[in-house]
Amino acid sequence: MNRALPLLASVLFFIAFAIEVVSIPGSFSYYNESLGGISSLLFSTYVVPFELVSLILVGGIIGMLYITGREE
């Protein structure tokens, strides 16, 4: 199998990912936030993205267990 194509795809992905991360607006400095404020935002404003991320993570874990557990 040609190894150059997956390597090129990986490098391009990480370059695109780095560009997107650098272009995120805002400051990432630490500020004092209470746990109650974070939880109220997480379970009111951001409840749908929170649940979608949890479903994606559970699906990934189940898929990983399926792939590693099958016999060849």
User: Does residue 57 have a pLDDT over 90?
Assistant: yes
Checking if the pLDDT of 72 tops 70, the result is: no
pLDDT score at 16: 92
Taking the C-alpha atoms of residue 4 and residue 71, their distance in angstroms, rounded to an integer, is: 29
Rounded Cα distance between 12 and 14, Å, is 6
Q: State mean pLDDT over 6-22.
A: 89
pTM above 0.75, yes or no: no
* Distance in angstroms (rounded) separating the CA atoms of residues 8 and 15: 11
Give the C-alpha separation, 17 to 11, whole Å.
Answer: 10
Mean per-residue pLDDT for 46-58? 90
